[in-house]
Amino acid sequence: MSEFKGYKGKSLDFLQKNSIKVGDTVEIQDGVKYSGIIMPRYEHGDDKHIVLKLKSGYNVGLELEKIQSVQKIPSKESKAKNTEDIKKNPLLPKILLLSTGGTIASKVDYRTGAVTPVLTAEELNMSVPELAEIANIDTEVLFSEYSENIMPENWQKIAQRLAEFDKSDYAGIIIAHGTDTMHYTSAYLSFALAGYPIPVALVGSQRSSDRASSDAALNLIGAARFLVGCKTNGIFVVMHKDENDVDIACHFGTRVRKNHTSKRGAFQTVGDAPAFIVTGKEIRRNNSSEFFKEKKYQVKTNLKTNVALVKYYPGYDPDLLEKILELNCEAIIFEGTGLGHVGKVMYENIKKANEKGVFLGMTSQCIDGRISMTVYESGRDLLDLGIIPLEDMIPEVALVKVMWALGNTSDKEEVKRIMLENIASEITN
């Protein structure tokens, strides 16, 4: 039962005897007074403890034998806020906040222990009152999905909605998004809306907004300050720079990836410095990339998803590549070793793919550095087999770019030209 999730034996008897369950607020004495919420437990935990979430946001395990008293505290109905609680200031710029889900738009369900996407864009706005001091925030929910469930059709929906605001008076647009696949979305938007006339900030959080250690509020505040003060345009990912609650990093949408599973400073610009750093109210340009050069705005949201990202490793079975070709894949992005290599065992099927007109692009498994396939004989062999070196493009970005390129042209030579053109700073200087 979810109301006693993870509890068994003595701990379950304790909860039932005291008429309390997961999600209830209690006050417990065991020599020290604790107030908090009864949390669920792992199914394989012992039956000698209960877990309490304190007001600080941290959990504490309490040993049953040491508990002197327990009292259930009746829950108080919180007064619902409404949009009138946040006054519009006509002197402030406007920002649009679009919510797509993810941890930044989630709360912990204390009855199940799950983090669920339940916050609306409006609730996000109201949960961070500092935003109202920076800009007038309009809110809209596009959909509510964890980022692993966001598919290319969701990217298109975001892009199409953004295109409707390209002539608006918004100073910028925030997209609340889950972190795990945020760099895929930012890459697609960078290509589909190249030259977009106002700045767009994809913002997430590593920890849900109701946790004491959440980074959601500071990320949102930093993004809002960036949008109203950056004096630039384009697609950015805006997140904590490191573990400290001081600096917010604004990364180009095609040069960023998530490099840590849980740290608040998980996102890093690959091969360069973040475009901007926000410290308090200060915004400083941090990168001299060609990204800042004026680009012609174009809306091209089509894409094709029958492409593959192949990570080569010793022992890779070339028959797997054969299967990919049988699925009529139109492009393969290789994540090769070092300067851009795969083993000779792959050569025959690479040749077949090239003869079928499949686009073949090479990236590197290395976090940083450029492809250089002329250094070694093996690299030169792969060039002769039709593989195109993709400079220092991040593998995931190359995958998204080829999806987008194939969606906008059926000419194989044009696909090749597009993949080598630096459209949105996906290739560094």
Active site members: 103, 179-180, 258
In Å, the largest CA–CA distance within the chain is: 78
Q: Yes or no: say if 44 and 5 are a contact pair by the CB < 8 Å rule.
A: no
Distance CA 375, CA 339 (A): 8
The residue assigned the tokens 């941090």 is 286
Give the pairing of strands 33-39 and 49-54. antiparallel
Give the pairing of strands 94-99 and 136-141. parallel
Helix or strand (DSSP H, E) at 125: helix 121-127
Residue 196: phi, psi to the nearest 5?
-50, 130
Q: How far is CA 119 from CA 33, 99, 140, 205, in A?
A: 32, 9, 11, 13
Tokens standing for residue 193: 């809306």
Under DSSP, is residue 226 helix (H, G, I), strand (E, B) or coil? Answer: helix
Under DSSP, is residue 423 helix (H, G, I), strand (E, B) or coil? Answer: coil
DSSP classification of residue 337: B
Sign of the dihedral defined by the CA atoms of residues 311, 312, 316, 317, in that order? positive
